[in-house]
């Protein structure tokens, strides 16, 4: 199942950059400051959790830059 078709709170096991058997949970759906339809998701793989945003523009769905995780300095 694609994250773009999930409903808030729904979970699915799918392949992600962090592993083939990652647990993905859609947290919420929102409109970005640019007016894009976006979805915030949490990915759990290999004992680590990652938060990401998936947004849709004129070209289709894409994973935006990680804005929810702490940046390394």
Residue with tokens 């947004």: 55
- What integer pLDDT is reported at residue 66 of this predicted model? 62
Q: Please indicate, yes or no, if residue 73 is contained in any of the structural domains.
A: no
Range of the domain at 58: 3-63
- Report the alpha-carbon distance of residue 29 to residue 7 in Å, rounded: 8
Percent of the chain with pLDDT over 90: 55
Q: Do strands 48-57 and 60-63 pair parallel, antiparallel, or not at all (unpaired)? A: antiparallel
Give a yes or no: residue 70 inside a domain. Answer: no
Is residue 54 domain-resident? yes
* 59 within a domain of the structure (yes/no): yes
pLDDT at residue 29 greater than cutoff 80? yes
54-68: per-residue pLDDT in tens? 999 999 989 886 655
Is 68 within a domain? no
Which H helix or E strand runs over 11?
Answer: strand 11-16
Q: Is residue 72 part of a domain?
A: no
User: How far apart, in Å, do the first and last CA atoms of the chain sit?
Assistant: 35
């Amino acid at each position: 199942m694609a994250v773009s078709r999930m409903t808030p709170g729904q979970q699915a096991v799918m392949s992600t950059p962090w592993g083939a058997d990652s647990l993905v949970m859609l947290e919420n759906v929102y409109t970005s400051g640019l007016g894009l339809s976006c979805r915030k998701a949490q990915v759990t793989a290999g004992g680590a959790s990652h938060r990401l945003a998936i947004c849709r523009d004129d070209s289709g769905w894409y994973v935006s830059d990680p804005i929810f995780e702490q940046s390394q300095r």
